[in-house]
Amino acid sequence: DIQMTQSPSSLSASVGDRVTITCRASRDISRFLNWYQLKPGKAPRLLIYAASTLQGGVPSRFSGSGSGTDYTLAISSLQPEDFATYYCQQTYTTFALTFGGGTTVEIK
């Protein structure tokens, strides 16, 4: 299976800060990379698909980039509702989709 390594595993930031989260795949996944936001008790939310395409309804402060094995999720100006856990997911392999270990964004 393709291993997805996220970093950092957690971070503390303030409202208005720029935040970046990275995700590294164990091999080339050709931009088959999605980002999700999870909050306790709520349905997970798709933020970015195909590495850089913003899902409809997601604020433009979220952006994704990368290629090959290395990908990044950026939040340009952190808002109170953005404190959550973020996961990357690769969908390049047909029968073995995998997620990263997660990055929890906490209030500083």
By C-beta, is 15 or 96 nearer to other proteins? 96
Q: Taking the C-alpha atoms of 29, 22, 62 and 88 in order, what is their torsion angle to the nearest 10 degrees?
A: 50
Site string for other proteins, 48-87 (x = CB under 8 A): -xx----x-------------------------------x
Q: Give every CB contact of residue 50 below 8 A, 6+ residues apart in sequence.
A: 31, 32, 33, 34
**Residues at the contact surface with other proteins, assessed by CB under 8 A:** 30, 32, 34, 36, 38, 41-46, 49-50, 55, 87, 89, 91-102
